[in-house]
Structure 1
Amino acid sequence: MEVRKYLHESLNKIIYIVIILIYTKTIVANENVIKGRQTFVDCIAQNGDKLIYNQHHEANGTFLGVQKETILYPEKGDEREYIITCIKVYDNRALTGPNEGKTEIISGGVGQNSVIIRVQSARSKGYDLDVEIWGRKI
């Protein structure tokens, strides 16, 4: 009976640890770097926000090549008139299969007046993204 009780308690602890590891991995995967078929959304939208950036970004894949792009808002030389309230990067290829590329915020972002977004495709693949940035006048 003691062995059975010990095994039962040990199994419960192992299950608990596995659940924590899976949960932690999910949280880390969703922090600023989005891989595969996911769409990146970092948003604290409010009534009255204005669409301040709406661009399509696309690059074709090349054999064994990796496509990269750095997206700046505002572009160099432009005034920083808005506080960013929402950033949305839609992966238009998500419906056709996993892309395995990544999108990450390098600096700035929600609550700031600028953002630098880095986009990188998977090897031999391109990307097809729509980027929206919403903001509120300073």
Structure 2
Amino acid sequence: MKRLKAIFLAAKEDFEGGYLSSMRALVQAEVFDSELEQANELLNSGYFTAAAVVAGVLLETALRELCEKEGISVGKLDKMNADLAKAGVYNKLIQKRITALADIRNSAAHGKVNEFVEQDVTDMIRYVSLFLASHLIS
């Protein structure tokens, strides 16, 4: 136990100093970047429906992370989106954009490919990337 005391004290110091949450943010940023790359690769390969689903899952995951960060209960995408806007994490315009992107994701996931076009997915991926950069990865 005496030999492990220094390790425990160092871990406690890292935790109290917030270094572990910084490490979590770095890992999270890497995962988000990888998922964005996957969505872009699918889009560039002509699989824009699959790209929309991946980007939509990434957006929902980001909303979940934001809710946890802000102490807001996690739930369905629409509720998290409304709660985050209500809490002032972002404005109504962003809330409406997220709702539109969620609609694209839902249409893609349910095979309703006539409800969106490839350019919608391109814009979706671009916006999700910007949203992540301004709300989570900063």
TM-score between both structures, scaled by the size of structure 2: 0.25
**Which of the pair has the greater relative contact order for Cα pairs under 8 Å at 6+ separation?**
1
Which has more helix, going by share of residues?
A: 2
Which has more strand, going by share of residues?
A: 1
The structure that has the greater radius of gyration is 1
